Structure 1
């Protein structure tokens, strides 16, 4: 992931988060998309979440909720929820949409999604003017105390590059270069600022996706250094959640995980009209959810999200959080 926050003259307190990205950070926006097939608003999703199924693609809290816990923030409301207006936005807003990606055409196979570009427009054209009116000040005065989080990238490979016949003549290297360029342009041309970019894959043993993840991660880490001169008012952090998950799988026993490959929930098969990824509605679910790495066919359990958020906030290893962790960023 890449994280950033505007700097200069703040009191070392992060007052909120604006979240952009895909299903790993979506907290319910797709619930409000009638034509989207990428939804998690039904049991067993949310079986361990305080409010039950909410649209989070896991059994409990997602990584944004847990990062918010580290920063002593309340749950961040979903933009698509009609009640997310006025004072409810004071601690930030979540714009993420499951199945979306960096590219506008990513995720269209899942029906209706909110692209990263549209998520950014929602922030700029809807939330920002309302917050300026609510707080009685210009955005440059209050945004310096907010963290911007962008968790995206994986779907551009899973639901775009590796599925579309039109990409057969495009090398993985060329596609990744274009993907990184698109992200760099989206971030550097924003009048506000950015933040957390999710690495490409989820850690499962798929050679093609693993190769894509390694390549994308290398580009993202380089992007942090390359884009900094274009964004002098912001600090960026790259959090390599892909590596964190792979390390969990390698050291699964010592970390308390017994199952690193099977989904905890009963996944809806293609034969049953499912997509082979999401949990079957009202399907069976494992009892020892804390011992599973994956909750469904793609998304990690809350237990894994806890470790990712903890590493993002506290890790002293630059291979996990570069060039600093979020705690250091908040105090910088």
Structure 2
């Protein structure tokens, strides 16, 4: 079993026509489950004899181009025109949102003893990149690099991570040097804390507020009217000013996994299931909040990568399959106003 921790970086992967409808209530960048899914598929394709195990994946986006109309206030996806049916009628069109991506994937991996050497790690990184080039990523096609455009910064990297507790500073410096290569770009991290904080704020005034109310409140721009009293020496009535609530950075609603709606059905008992050898369960999407931040603001690999989580001890009606991220925002720094005081 691989035991040596390492970081695998596949930089600037160009994806064409990735799925831009990530859930029934969100659109835009693909869901993080699309990237944990490609991580699982990639590990299966490499096989157990490759000497590498993938534990988590981080995503840094360098470019996003949604395939939509840009004129007017209403946007519409660019849809394909499907061929007519045998009887000459038009086939039903399922709306498919597409986007072109330029992303860097950062994997938290474990290596076997046979893959610790520099030459072995370089060959393994090239093999992983070659395997990914023939796969689908978030429903889109991985495009090959143009001839003559392969730069040193675009080559895959596989580096061992110092796992000794006495090498914390060395581990932090290694991650900082890697993060510089991902600029300019934005990394997606979890902000479950914002959802919990906003729910507590809403329930202070409205005890019946739910998590959905807090999620919708964070997902939109909130503008409210604030009455400004008139000056004492002025007979004019009070004025009203529209104020937009501040937001703690580039916060976005994201799907993070699935919640069970039924018990596990035995393999092959559900008609239409794609895999007749695996137990089947009906699920629904689970949403949370995420934030896009610059990679240089992330301090460690654990704060960047997403891992899959499932507690088999939960009862079936509460089974949860979701992705988790260990990012924690820095503590707010209070401004020092000593020099601003006018004596």
Q: TM-score, normalised by structure 2?
A: 0.27
**Greater share of strand residues, 1 or 2?**
2
State the structure with more CA Rg. Answer: 2
